[in-house]
Amino acid sequence: MAEQIIKTEFSEVMQKSYIDYAMSVITQRALPDVRDGLKPVQRRVLYAMQELGLSSDRPHRKSARIVGDTMGKYHPHGDSSIYEALVVMEQEFKKGMPLVDGHGNFGSIEGDGAAAMRYTEAKLEKFTQEVYLKDLDKNVVDFTMNFDETEREPVVLPVRIPNLLINGAEGIAVGMTTNIPPHNLCEVADGVMAYLDDPDITTEGLMEYIQGPDFPTGGLVVNKKDLREIYETGVGKLKLRGKVEVEAPKRKSGREKLVITEIPYTMIGANIGKFISDVVGLIENRVTGDIVDVSNESSKEGIRIVLELKKGADPEQITNILYKKTRLEDTFGVNMLAIADGKPELLSLKEIIARHTAFYKEILTRKYETLLAKELEQKEIKEGLIKACDIIDLIIEILRGSNSIKEAKNCLIHGDTGEIRFKTKKSQKEASRLSFTEKQATAILEMRLYRLIGLEILALQNEYAEILNKIKNYQDILDHPESMKRVMKKDLKKIKKDFGFERKTQLVNAKAAVIQEKPLEEKEVVFVMDRFGYAKVFDLSTVERNTDTVYQEYKTIINCMNTEKIAFFTDTGLMHQVKVLDVPVGRLRDKGTPIDNLCNYDSKSEQIVLAVPEHLLSMGSLLFVTEQSMVKLVDGQEYLVSKKTVQATKLSENDKVRAVFMLSGKEEQRSGYVIMQSEEGYFLRFALQEVTYKKKGALGLQGMNLSDQDSVSHVYLYGTMEESTDSIMYKEKELSFGKLRLMKHNSKGVKVRR
């Protein structure tokens, strides 16, 4: 057959392919199914453990074996993602009800990772066996072929309680995400029973039973008033707080302590370490001076983070600071998205319960249909055996007179006596009337002689009566919704009794944390920065005691108030600002903090030309000179802005700022001269009065008439009050600026040859 080229739009192919990929990620990897509340990888891990026989009463098996079976039989993806799913299902601090019983290092609440899968072992929790995997052998759910069609796997597990609520879910798909908080098992069971009693129950009615999320880490949900809207819409934000207790000193000389015993669910993992470092940052940045020490005393018994307080400190104020400035108060974004009827849907609390209840009814219907069919089959067989016991002599005569099992079976089923030898015509006539079913005939032929004992016959009759009773019960459950509802409620009550636990998370309506800011004591300090860009702040007394050392070691030294900002002008034409309060106060030998960490300055691509305190900007003006000899004055008021970084001056292509001078006084008070030195050795002296005021967005005027390859290398002020320089050493001789001929701006200047 000849090849046929199909022409199509590339955009259409890409669109279709991406949509197919997106739907595959959404339905097959990232989002849980509303019926069992599990993602495919979780479902397959649990089923693989069931198939390996890892029940709760059996020994643990290596996690690597579980991962290998899951990957080889059901989940053809990376082993790391399978093992991670196994680990998370074991971690009691992440799941409302852990589904896996782990043995070994499965990680910690503080962010420690699990040991490699070759070291850890696992088996199923009893809860998982009883509630998630029970009755899989009774045709309660559909099975499908695996990826290579060599194994069968369940499409969904027969979970008997809304796992989507019990354990919550989190996942990121393509263009959508799910984030469902865990809930209390007892409350969810009560909520489902309430829904069974009244399918028209409102969200408010359900919330009488399901009060709100119940996180395994405890803590507090402080916006209880928003829960109704969250449960009705499926989206919203929960405000979580850790639980803080005040611990009195054990002795008179001791200090009070704030002890954090429960943390927000969002603080699990590395965020505990981040919280401690944030508290240290509050101390270093002088947000609070009432915390003396912070330590993490957490253990397997629980969380215990201790903050030791100064004497006379206000614990309530410090607690509010922690809530306001750290992740001790955090937000949990609720987005109750799940796969329903094969597609992603945003679900309310009632919809989750309604859809799971419908699934639960389907499970029970299929279970009791399977059991009913089995009992009807047994009823048929028992009826045949009982009838056979009544005519056992005739049965024996048929068997003794038959040449083969086939002849005997035909006689029992169809009354065919043609080839069978009977002792009497009467027996033959009776045998011709027999009409056992196929199953009955098979059971009669397989019956052992001991069943003819009187007690055995009585037991057979009792078994038959029991079977009739079961059939009656099963048919009642299948035919009457009220009976089905009783079975469901009985199951839920048993689950609640066997596995229920008390609520851990408190639900309250709390006011927002308010920090009563202490008035800042305004004082003069000294900002210093070395040639490597490390900055810190000294008290005046420190500088007075070590004046020589300070002026030797630091390139930039600025007297300023602790309440103002320092402006940094760079050669790229930018101005960066740093609050003095953000610069750590240091001792003489402290290294300081890189200026890059305090503002948007990038030491790799720009250099600081001038650093000036905010109060000087408000009183004076700035003189800018660039490499291409553009010069201008800008009113310092233009740089009194709130932004951390602004464009300080406009630059031509490939131009850079060569110098910035801070000038005080008004325009009419300006005096002195500007001295420009070029790379080729030209010097130009012109009056400062010639430089005009421009906006910061202007280029300025030409200061020196440069040749094509020349550029400004140095700029000096002469005869002014600010940074005035009278002479420099040039070519190993002193060059006095007073002897340079005075010219106009935009002149070439004088070349100094000596």
- What CATH number did the domain enclosing 100 receive? 3.90.199.10
Put the strands of the sheet holding 620-626 in their side by side order. 657-664, 620-626, 630-635, 701-702
Residue 611 forms beta bridges with which residues? 568
Show the CA angle centred on residue 279, arms to residues 215 and 258, nearest 5°: 65
428 plus 552 within the same structural domain = no
Classify residue 726 by burial, with Cβ atoms within 10 Å: 0-12, 13-18, 19+.
Answer: exposed
User: In this structure, are residues 478 and 365 in contact, taking their beta carbons and an 8 Å threshold?
Assistant: yes
1 has a pLDDT exceeding 60 = no
Structurally, how many domains does the chain consist of? 5
- How far is the C-alpha of 436 from the C-alpha of 549, rounded, in Å? 114
626 plus 741 within the same structural domain = yes
Query: Which has the closest alpha carbon to 628: 607, 600, 656, 601?
Result: 656
- How far is the C-alpha of 523 from the C-alpha of 352, rounded, in Å? 61
Cα dihedral 547→551→553→556 (10° resolution): 130
489-547 pLDDT, tens per residue?
999 999 999 999 999 999 998 887 666 666 677 889 999 999 889 999 998 888 888 88
pLDDT of residue 450: 65
232-261 pLDDT, tens per residue?
999 999 999 999 999 888 776 678 889 999
pTM summary value: 0.72
User: In this structure, are residues 218 and 505 in contact, taking their beta carbons and an 8 Å threshold?
Assistant: yes
Which residues, 6+ apart, have CB-to-CB distance to 247 below 8 Å? 256, 257, 258, 259, 306
590 plus 626 within the same structural domain = no
pLDDT of residue 312: 81
667-682 pLDDT, tens per residue?
545 788 899 999 999 9
Q: What is the mean pLDDT of residues 23-40?
A: 80
Sign (positive or negative) of CA dihedral 83, 85, 90, 91: positive
Classify residue 494 by burial, with Cβ atoms within 10 Å: 0-12, 13-18, 19+.
Answer: middle
Tokens standing for 696? 């910061």
Classify residue 117 by burial, with Cβ atoms within 10 Å: 0-12, 13-18, 19+.
Answer: buried
Q: What is the mean pLDDT of residues 58-86?
A: 94
Does any domain span residue 192? no
631 plus 737 within the same structural domain = yes
Does any domain span residue 526? yes
536 plus 663 within the same structural domain = no
Does any domain span residue 709? yes
| Residue where a domain stops, chosen among 272, 298, 327 | 327
How many Cβ atoms sit within 10 Å of the Cβ of residue 516?
9
Query: Which has the closest alpha carbon to 38: 169, 196, 221, 145?
Result: 169
600 plus 622 within the same structural domain = no
726 has a pLDDT exceeding 70 = yes
DSSP 573: S
Distance from chain centroid for Cα 207: 26
387 plus 455 within the same structural domain = yes
| Residues known to be catalytic | 119
pLDDT of residue 754: 62
583 plus 625 within the same structural domain = no
Tokens standing for 28? 């097959």
Cα dihedral 146→147→151→157 (10° resolution): -20
443 plus 388 within the same structural domain = yes
CATH number of the CATH domain containing 748? 2.120.10.90
Which residues, 6+ apart, have CB-to-CB distance to 650 below 8 Å? 573, 696, 697, 698, 699
Which domain, by its residues, includes 570?
A: 520-604
Average pLDDT, the chain: 88
| Residue where a domain stops, chosen among 479, 510, 539 | 479
419 plus 382 within the same structural domain = yes
Distance from chain centroid for Cα 385: 63
Residue 525 forms beta bridges with which residues? 539, 560
CATH number of the CATH domain containing 447? 1.10.268.10
User: In this structure, are residues 567 and 617 in contact, taking their beta carbons and an 8 Å threshold?
Assistant: yes
Does any domain span residue 58? yes
pLDDT of residue 648: 93
CA atoms lying within 13 Å on the CB side of residue 698: 15
Does any domain span residue 687? yes
Do the bridges between strand 235-241 and strand 243-247 make them parallel or antiparallel, or are there none, so unpaired?
unpaired
* Confidence bin at 353 (pLDDT 50/70/90): very high
377 plus 278 within the same structural domain = no
Does any domain span residue 356? no
Put the strands of the sheet holding 574-579 in their side by side order. 608-613, 565-570, 574-579, 645-647
| Residue where a domain stops, chosen among 327, 357, 378 | 327
* Angle, helix 79-90 to helix 40-51, in steps of 10 degrees: 80
142 plus 257 within the same structural domain = no
Does any domain span residue 314? yes
CATH number of the CATH domain containing 301? 3.30.1360.40
Does any domain span residue 671? yes
How many Cβ atoms sit within 10 Å of the Cβ of residue 123?
23
